[in-house]
Chain A
């Protein structure tokens, strides 16, 4: 079907979502470097920073993989 060939693969959308969330969460993590939050985990780690970075990288890979494929899902 013609319409099938034009559909953006789902991997692109998965990647986009993770990149957007990754940017937001890393941003909050950077802010926490200068102004640490209250809370238990924050005493020994800054999970926003490293988990957000992982999301950003994985999301980027997904977007890259899904970028040019004009095939079906």
Chain B
């Protein structure tokens, strides 16, 4: 594909956005002087702001580009990542886990581990989270620069440094408050900048009926082809999706990833914090109307030779070029600037989310816990500001490493499931089984992370014979497919599931042989020792359960409708 050329007005729109978010950072600085303001956005935010920020922290530009391209490759199966792979976990967080998080007045997820278990579990999680966040942030930075270099011909270094500097400046100035408010701006920019691609695409191909006409069932169904991994392009089974994605990966991410959950901690009260992920679930469910519709339009146009995806240096098709190709096809000058700004804003908000979570965990769970226990409020805010800049610089270094050694990205992206999948088992047991001990949690977590890491290496370097791949992914009847091994997606899902199982089982076994904390120490942290939120005076339409039921009903309807 030829690079897209921007007009003067497109540039004005992009520059205005940079001016806008940096100006907002300066404006918010005076509201972010205390540690509560800087690290928790003052704990005074409304339901709508928290919900939008909650979903936006996950709504990076690379996610949108990646899953639009993913739709070209996998069809509507991609919707699983937005529906069953997100909604039940978000509802579970709001209904059952948020009371423990919010009521204990913690600043971070590692902070909960300290209260519920001990210092070593907190430090293990804080350090692994901090490393994961910086590395992921660096990968995102590299991929973002690569995308803009490819589609717009922008200079790689300038693109990276300018966006990194912008994020560093507004997060260092306004902390989480800046992150949350710019995430709110970005949410609207994404919808106004990219939804029009789907609308114009649908108009172009003759509406939904024209879009689905002639497409094979494997591209347009959610479950109909999930009975046999050979029948769907993702190569997964229905139980792989339900257990690996719908339970382990999804719950691991949406309920324990501090980057996401931090947005609910910033809510003005417990009721708002509980509703935050539940209301966000509606926004999340709507996203396939951008991502999947655009992906299917691109698939349809590519089939008829109207558009042609780019190829990388090795000749492999680059499906991520789908959305930029549609933007180039449908957007004239003006809207083009808006579309590119939406992608940039999406990237910067993702970077800001990483940075604000990193500065909080580093300041509270590493610096204050291990370096300066008696630090004052002002000192912590200063450390938060400095570490914001340091974190961004480390991301830039990671991006340069990734640029020099692209294969390293596989390892860094795998870190995600090393950390999150087993942590969900620890949290689940910690919150709902008071017998769980500190020793059980710590060693279970270590074992889970090691399991995930070992399986990643074993799958990557083919340590097992082919049959074992099918036993480990619970598809023994498919081992006749050898020497072909299961798809990467299947291996990722079951790698996380095994990590979860090992952590869960080992934590229980060790806990049964070690001394638990007393009931007094666990007040407010464990089910049965935490008072239920008083909802008697709350009207039905404001109750989390009401909206959780509505959200689940919509989820079921969508799955049945697109079965």
Interface residues of A (CB under 8 A from B): 1, 3-4, 7-8, 10, 13-14, 17-18, 20-21, 24-25, 28-29, 32, 37, 39-42, 44-45, 47-48, 51-52, 55, 58, 72-73
Contacts and interface: CB of A to CB of B under 8 A. Distances in A.
B33 to A, nearest CB: 8
Contacts of A28: 9, 332-334
Interface of A is mostly: helix
B200 A41 contact: yes
- Interface residue range, chain B: 35 or more
Q: Please provide the 3 A-B residue pairs with the shortest distance between their CB atoms, ordered closest to farther.
A: A28-B334, A72-B44, A41-B330
A18 to B, nearest CB: 7
Interface in B161-186: 180-181, 184-185
A25 B335 contact: yes
B31 interface: yes
Interface in B15-32: 16-17, 20, 24, 27, 30-31
Contacts of A40: 329-330
B42 A51 contact: no
A3 B332 contact: no
B200 A47 contact: yes
Contacts of B200: 41, 45, 47
A47 B31 CA distance: 39
A72 B268 contact: yes
B522 to A, nearest CB: 32
Contact of A73 (B16, B49, B204, B332): B49
Interface of B: 9, 12-13, 16-17, 20, 24, 27, 30-31, 42, 44-46, 49, 180-181, 184-185, 188-189, 192, 196, 200, 203-204, 268, 329-335, 338
Contacts of B334: 24-25, 28-29, 48, 52
B30 A48 contact: no
Contacts of A3: 30-31
Contact of B31 (A7, A24, A32, A58): A7
A13 B185 contact: yes
A62 B514 CA distance: 57
A18 B46 contact: no
B335 A72 contact: no
A10 B333 contact: no
B338 A25 contact: yes
A51 B335 contact: yes
Contacts of A32: 332
A11 to B, nearest CB: 8
Tell which of B45, B49, B204 has the most Cβ of chain A within 10 Å.
B49
Given A18-B188, A24-B13, A45-B200, 16 more contacts: A7-B31, A24-B12, A28-B333, A39-B331, A41-B204, A41-B331, A42-B332, A44-B203, A47-B330, A47-B332, A51-B192, A51-B196, A51-B335, A58-B192, A72-B44, A72-B46
A44 to B, nearest CB: 8
Given A24-B12, A72-B44, A10 B181 contact: yes
A48 B46 contact: no
B49 A10 contact: yes
B42 A55 contact: no
Contacts of A73: 44-46, 49, 180-181
Contacts of B9: 24, 28
Nearest to B36: A1
Contacts of B329: 39-41
A54 to B, nearest CB: 8
B13 A21 contact: yes
B333 A72 contact: no
21 contacts: A3-B31, A7-B31, A10-B185, A14-B185, A17-B17, A17-B20, A17-B189, A18-B188, A21-B16, A25-B338, A28-B333, A41-B200, A41-B329, A41-B332, A42-B332, A48-B335, A51-B192, A52-B334, A58-B192, A72-B44, A73-B44
